[in-house]
Structures are given as C-alpha cells and as structure tokens.
Amino acid sequence: MQIIINKAACVGHGRCQHVAPELFSLDDNGYIATASFSVPTGAEALAQRGVRACPEGALSLAADAGPAAVVVLPTLIFIEHQGREHRVQVQPGTSVMQAALNAGVPGILADCGGSCSCGTCHGYLEGEVAARVAAASDNERDMLDCAIDVLPHSRLTCQVIVTAAMDGLVIRLPRSQI
C-alpha cells in the first residue's frame, strides 16, 4: 500500500500528522514534508486514518502496483435533489464528501470538514454498488440522528471512503442539509 500525496492540495491543516504522527511528518510551515511513500507492514489502518483526516483530500491510498500499473479511477454519480447528475472520477482513498467538494457538487455543506461531527454531508447510497460499501460505524449512526430526512440507506459521506470497487456508486443528495 502506498500513500499518494498531492502537495499542491495540502494547505497545512496537519490533521494527518495529528492522527498518525508515526507516518506523516510536517515541514516548519505545517505542510506535509514527504513525497508519496510506501506504508510499512502493519500500519495500514493508521495510514487510512491519516488519509481520512485530510479535509482537502490531498492524500490517497493506492495498492502497491509497480511503475507500469494503470490506475483506473472509479466514477461516483451524485444526483442533486432536483435531479441534476454529476459524474465524478475519484482517487481511491478519498472520502465521498471530499470528492463532491473537490468537484463542486452542490448540496453537501460539510460544516465540520469531515470529522463526523455535524451531519451536513448526508447522502443516500443507492444501487447495486452500495452493497459493497463498508457498514456505518456507531459514531456515524449517532450523527445521522442530526440529519434531515434520514432513510435506511442514509450515510454521512465523510465516512465513506472510495475504493475501486465503488465504481458506479450513486449518491442521491437530500433536499436540505440543515
């Protein structure tokens, strides 16, 4: 597993280093100091936490595939409440929330920046691909109580991390986040 770093997207929040100091080092200005790197064996969960902590989506995870590998980015399909569709290609390891924000998809506020503490990135996961998404944590289920128009397939998009298997995932957005 490798951590891919988009240094141009890093704005120096330092959240990656805060949650995974063993893996991420920052320069004197608070920006990530290293280039992309391989995750040490046994540190995969720590790497995932560090990647998810980045509100800018500057970090992503990739399987060790070698230099000749072709990376196919999964496409997510966001559907606004009024029906307008947005197809977004996403680097695996990015949260669904960050993918929507990066692509300018309206309807996700993300007031807490992806820390699962506000409920303003609520969406409905639909279609066959939704069955491949990991189950919601207890913390996420508790935060969904704060969301509007919650349905059985509601999720906080900040807690859904994109994998290659999620190609074609449909995320329908609610009429309002507040």
Q: Are 51 and 58 in contact (CB under 8 A)?
A: no
CA-wise closest residue to 61 among 1, 143, 148: 1
Give the pLDDT band (50/70/90) at residue 126.
very high
Q: Mean per-residue pLDDT for 61-71?
A: 58
pTM attached to this predicted model: 0.64
Give the pLDDT band (50/70/90) at residue 72.
low
Given a cut of 80, whether residue 178 has pLDDT beyond it is yes
Percent over 90 (pLDDT), the chain? 52
What values do phi and psi take at 40, rounded to 5? -60, 150
Given a cut of 60, whether residue 109 has pLDDT beyond it is yes
Q: What is the pLDDT of residues 36-49, one digit of tens each?
A: 788 889 998 888 88
Q: Look at residue 118 and give its three-state secondary structure.
A: coil
Question: 62, exposed or middle or buried, with CB in 10 Å at 0-12, 13-18, 19+?
Answer: middle
pLDDT at 111: 94
pLDDT at 68: 44
